[in-house]
Amino acid sequence: MGRRRCAALVVIATIVCLSLSGVASQEEEEYFWHNEVSGESVWHYPEWRHWSQEHGRYYYVDPETKETTWDLPDKHAWEDLVDEDSEKTYYHNKNTKEVTWDKPEQFGWKRVVKKKEEL
């Protein structure tokens, strides 16, 4: 068997294995997204940052209003930092310069997995 043919068979076998493992895991579990800060739950992760191939930069979409902007919205401009003295996490908003110990909604999203038998 030639090298090309052998390599092609390996690729096909890998794709089949990955496909089958994906199907099995989808049958066994389902998940949704929950925001532990706001209490909101949704089926799809609320995407707000998108890449523009044409412009070579990110743009932002408000998931509720669907409005778009090139400027990073204040509610998504948070970064998490660690206080050197207490070693606790605090949050800084790059746009407004606000600083808080309270976790902003942007950091509250967690994936919640439910087994099919629990649904």
In the chain, what are the domain boundaries? 31-118
Q: What is the pLDDT of residue 76?
A: 86
CA distance 30 to 44: 12
Mean pLDDT of the chain: 78
Contacts of 88 (CB under 8 A, 6+ apart): 82, 101
Tell me, yes or no, if the pTM score tops 0.75. Answer: no
pLDDT (tens digit per residue) in 62-74: 877 889 999 999 9
* pLDDT of residue 91 exceeding 50: yes
